[in-house]
Structure formats: structure tokens, C-alpha cells
Amino acid sequence: MKQVVVLVGAGSIGIAIARRVSAGKRLVIADYSFENAKQAAQMLDNAGFECTPVEADLGSKESFLGLVNKATALGEVVNLINAAGVSPSQAPVERILQVDLYGTSVLLDEFGKVIGEGGSGVIISSQSGHRLPALPHEQNEALATTPTDKLLELPFLKEINDTLKAYQYSKRCNVLRVMYEATRWGRRGATINSISPGIIITPLANDELHGPRKEGYLKMIEGMPARRAGTPDEVGDLAEFLMSSRGRFISGADFLIDGGCTASYWYGDLQYLKSTH
């Protein structure tokens, strides 16, 4: 029985993290598209990793209970990487809240019950959650602590009718949920943190940079302190640190990795975006 790493979302960022933490372990790759999971597993198999592809829908609790059972049958789960989700341009409000907000919360809850001693996890959130103004204390408390099965019943979530707002609330919830779950994971000797990337070059981001909205993206990049987009490997390096022995004193935290984009959004050259966001 090997130690098990569970990757949810077979995209560029998730794979970059998995490559850094999965050597010598069994890697379970779960994705909404089984074909994507199989392709990622084959690529990593050819690079020396031992992989098991699984079809799983982040928006379905039953699907993820099945994933937990499959992963624990292979060994002790010591790492969780959640890099799955849908964006404001990919899905309606209901689906975004179902997947990004509710689904991630279920994932944290269920894997928090089985994570091994000394284990660790990272949740990929987004800089978008940092563009949401400060919420009332009652909303913060509700997003952090409401039982997962009741989350989507929160009145203020039912009032959201804009996909970007749904995404921002979901990503803010991810960060708050990680803080809440860190106390539970800690009882099992495990850590859990979130990472909020900015513009990272993935196939989807590359499409945007060469598509009809490219001028907006290029202007945003030019207004960032870093003046460039990031790479999945840079996110992978940060996640590797958090999940290693060097990161054992870090839990319940969120890390912006956005080239200073959020700083510029609030106080620099990108303040013009506030009127559109």
C-alpha cells in the first residue's frame, strides 16, 4: 500500500504541482473528463509516475465520495491538490457556485476525514477572490463554517445573478473554507493552504491572449508590477514548498501569486478595472 496523492483537475497547474510531489507515490488523477484524466495519466506514466485516472465531477458529492473510496483503497492519502473549477466565461451562475464553491468545500471536508498524518493539501483559488471588497462579518462566518450541504442555501448567494460575482464569491469562500478546515486537518497532523494565481499561461489563458479579448489582457499584464504573465511551474514551486517538510508551520493561509496584479488593481495602474469588476 503506497502513499497516495490525489489531483483533482488535470490541467497545467495541477500537473505542475503533481510532478513535484508525487515521485514514489501513487498518483490518482481525477477530472470531469475521463479522457483528460487518461491523457494526463499516460503522459506522467511515461515520465516515471504511477498513475490511476478517475472520472469525477467536482459539483457532485456522490462523485467525490466515490473518489475518496477509490483513493483510500490504493493506500494512505497524504497529499490533495485541487486545481479543478469553471470560470465566469465557461458556465452560468448556478454551475459556478455548485462546482467552485460547494464542490471545493465538499472536497476539503471529505478528504479532511482521511488525510494521513503529516499530510498536506493545496487548493487552487484565484486572484479574482481578492477583487471582492471586504464582506460583512456575518457573510465571512457563514462562508467559512456553514455545513457543506447547506452552503448553497445561504440567502446572499441566492441573490447573485452575475457570473463574475459568483466566481469571486466562490474563490473568497475557498480561502475562508481553507482557514476553517485547517483546524480540522490539524487534528490529523496535516496542513491545508490555498494559492490564488493571477494570469498564468495555460492553454485556456493562451486562447484568451490570442482571442478577441487579447487587448484587455495585454493591457492588464502591462499594468502589473511584473509586466508578464506567470507559468504553471511557478505555481508548482510555491505549492511544492507548502507541501514539503519546510512548510509544516504554514496552514490555513492563502498565497497570492499574481505578479502584483492585485496590488495594482487596488492601488496602481489597474484601478480602472474596478469600474468593470
Active-site residue flag, 171: yes
pLDDT at 20 over 90: yes
Find the mean pLDDT for residues 44-65.
Answer: 96
Q: What is the mean pLDDT of the chain?
A: 95
pLDDT at residue 277 greater than cutoff 70 = no
Whether residue 229 has pLDDT greater than 70? yes
| pLDDT tens readout for residues 203-224 | 877 777 787 778 888 999 999 9
Marked catalytic residue, from 167, 169, 180, 265: 167
Q: What is the DSSP letter of 129?
A: G
89, 183, 198, 214, 218 from 208: Cα distances, Å: 11, 38, 14, 6, 10
Phi then psi for residue 116, to 5 deg, are -80, 160
Topology of domain 2-275 in CATH is Rossmann fold (3.40.50)
Question: Mean of the pLDDT values across residues 248-272?
Answer: 97
**130-164 pLDDT, tens per residue?**
999 999 999 999 999 999 999 999 999 999 999 99
Mean pLDDT of 170-190: 98
State the DSSP H helix or E strand holding residue 196, giving kind and residue range, or none if neither. Answer: strand 191-197
Catalytic site residue from 32, 171, 180, 265: 171
Dist CA 188 CA 207 (whole Å): 42
Kindly report, residue by residue over 40-53, the tens digit of the pLDDT.
999 999 999 999 99
Q: Is 167 a catalytic residue?
A: yes
Are 197 and 238 spatial neighbours (Cβ–Cβ below 8 Å)? no
pLDDT the model gives residue 44:
98
Predicted TM-score (pTM) of the model is: 0.95
